[in-house]
Amino acid sequence: MGVRRAAKGIGDFLVELVGEAVAEVFLSLLACAVLVCLGLLAYLSWSFSPRLTLAGAGALSLCLTHGAWGTFRNPAKGRRRRGMTAVTIAGFTLSAATAVFLFLYASDCGCL
């Protein structure tokens, strides 16, 4: 009985180890792909129109700032977040999650 249990424990450990290694490689490749796509998007938009790129970056910054402000402030009593505030909060949350993901997994990316 002890040998079977030990063999099962070793097998479970190896399956978990390989699964984590594959997941780490997949997440690193995904982070590199996201980083490359963001760089390509910036390059293409700049080559199309530098003025529109700067205007778009400014508008995106304002939307993200509004989303951060809406996230960290307390809403008035009895009111919930609606409309544009909810949209900018969702955009800010998605941007923050993407930034954390890229910080964790693309920092050792060999594609740079």
Give yes or no for a contact between 32 and 25, defined as CB atoms under 8 angstroms apart: no
Q: Whole-number mean pLDDT of the chain?
A: 85
- Assign 9 a pLDDT band (cuts: 50, 70, 90): confident
pTM, entire model: 0.71
Chain segment 51-91, per-residue pLDDT in tens: 999 999 999 999 999 999 988 887 766 666 678 888 898 99
Closest CA to 101 of 48, 41, 27: 27
